[in-house]
Amino acid sequence: MDSLSKLLDLPTSEKESLGLTHTLQEILQQPQTWKATYQKILGLANPIETFLRSAGVGRSRQTPLNVFLVGAGTSDYIGKSVCALLQSEWARTVQAIPSTDLLTNMPDHVIPNRDYLWISFSRSGDSSEGVAVLESALDAYPRIKHLIVTCNQYGKMARSFQSRENVFSIVLDDAVNDRGLAMTSSFSNNLWTV
């Protein structure tokens, strides 16, 4: 921790030249942000549970439920990190599918007469492919339920889709909307939502 403290104590100009302006603090703040995210999810537990039940999680259904964990880059890795856990816990087919694959080949992934829950992870909530995938899916497949997890209350994912009946948005605190190059707090806090 002594080495980290020395890096934190560097003058701002030196942090900037080393590329440490935001990332180091974002790494170190994680334990505090996990608590805040946990409290946020706890406060939303009833509406989240209601939404997930309406999608088919936690109850038997005659129509199979398929769960897609959607994101690009590091947000795709969030889905890959929790895929097996959700499949085991929910006893549903769960796949992590990059939003770029869905954008270019959506009909190849969506089987007719099946129910879907897509959980979209996005730090910014403004990535062009993530927004385009949601817009396309909502237009072409209105039956799909969407749970959006983002760290940016001003992003399009947080603002544009929340009024729809088949969409539930979880907007995490601005503190985890990482400003640095690496997704650190945003990655770990997106994981906490699951």
| Cα gap 116→141, rounded to integer Å | 10
CA distances 92 to 50, 63, 168, 176, Å, are 17, 11, 20, 30
Tell me the average pLDDT of the chain.
89
What does the pLDDT read at residue 1? 55
Greater confidence, 27 or 55? Answer: 55
Residues in the chain: 194
pTM: 0.88
Average pLDDT on 97-124 reads 94
Query: At residue 98, does pLDDT exceed 90?
Result: yes
What the chain holds in terms of domains, given with CATH numbers, is: 2-193 (3.40.50.10490)
